[in-house]
């Protein structure tokens, strides 16, 4: 089963999501929701999906950057983005901390801003303190593309979209993003 992904303009994307209690996290309904969110993310396909994107203002997101998504990327592109596969996991009630001052600029897209992308400056390294789907406290240290995914999804939980952080003059269709990426890789 998959759910519809809400698009920009839906009020749920602009509100701060509420935290889940331990009892809620361990409930059958939340465990089923996590499975449905995983399936929805994979079907889209995407590398992350936050509960507000399916209309639920909850501090819950699923993340997975599958190796098959990286197959068509050049080695140079993967290296520049510090992108590698990320196993499926869940973050609940996350707290985001920037590690260092280094920022990197890359194009981002979003399942809730379908068909468009823009360059967004994000922290190169982050630490996320949260709980997993078993309500266990975990700390995630991430850098590169994985850090970008975490920041993007946590923004959703705080009522923000990448368009709030984008370099507005770079906002374009995904077709043009691909054309720009192809041209950039040819220049390297």
Instruction: For the chain, give the mean pLDDT.
Output: 95
Structure tokens belonging to residue 130: 């949260």
Specify whether the CB–CB gap between 108 and 81 falls below 8 A: no
Specify whether the CB–CB gap between 33 and 54 falls below 8 A: no
- CA atoms lying within 13 Å on the CB side of residue 170: 21
pLDDT confidence band for 83 (50 / 70 / 90)? very high
What pLDDT sits at residue 129?
98
What pLDDT sits at residue 183?
58
Radius of gyration of the chain (CA): 16
What pLDDT sits at residue 178?
82
What pLDDT sits at residue 179?
79
**pLDDT of 118 above 80:** yes
**Catalytic residue list:** 153
Q: Which pairs with CB-CB distance under 8 Å and at least 24 residues apart come from 139-146?
A: 140/91, 141/99, 143/82, 143/99, 144/81, 144/82, 144/83, 144/84, 144/104, 145/65, 145/81, 145/82, 145/83, 145/84, 146/65, 146/82, 146/83, 146/84, 146/86
Domains of the chain from N-terminus onward:
11-187 (3.90.45.10)
Mean pLDDT of 112-119: 97
Q: Which of 80-94, 134-148, 167-181 has the lowest mean pLDDT?
A: 167-181
pLDDT confidence band for 186 (50 / 70 / 90)? very low
What pLDDT sits at residue 182?
65
Mean pLDDT of 174-188: 68
Structure tokens belonging to residue 129: 């303190």
What pLDDT sits at residue 104?
97
Q: Identify which of 157, 165, 166 has the alpha carbon closest to the alpha carbon of residue 15.
A: 157
> What digits encode the pLDDT tens for the residues 125-172?
999 999 999 999 999 999 999 999 999 999 999 999 999 999 999 999
Question: How many percent of the chain have pLDDT more than 90?
Answer: 90
Mean pLDDT of 38-59: 98
**pLDDT of 47 above 70:** yes
**pLDDT of 23 above 80:** yes
């Amino acid at each position: 089963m998959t759910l519809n992904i809400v698009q920009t303009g839906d009020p749920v994307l602009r509100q701060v999501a509420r935290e889940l209690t331990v009892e809620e996290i361990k409930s059958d309904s939340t465990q089923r929701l996590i499975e449905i969110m995983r399936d929805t993310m994979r079907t889209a396909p995407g590398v992350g999906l936050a509960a507000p994107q399916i209309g639920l203002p909850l501090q819950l997101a699923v993340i997975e950057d599958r190796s098959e998504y990286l197959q068509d990327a050049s080695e140079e592109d993967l290296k520049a983005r510090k992108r590698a596969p990320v196993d499926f996991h869940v973050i609940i009630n996350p707290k985001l901390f920037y590690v260092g001052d280094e920022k990197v600029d890359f194009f981002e897209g979003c399942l809730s801003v379908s068909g468009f992308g823009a360059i967004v400056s994000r922290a190169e390294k982050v630490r996320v303190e949260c709980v997993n789907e078993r309500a266990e406290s975990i700390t995630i240290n991430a850098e590169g593309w994985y850090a970008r995914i975490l920041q993007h999804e946590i923004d959703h939980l705080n009522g923000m979209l990448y368009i709030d952080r984008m370099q507005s003059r770079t906002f374009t269709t995904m077709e043009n993003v691909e054309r720009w990426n192809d041209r950039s890789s040819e220049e390297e």
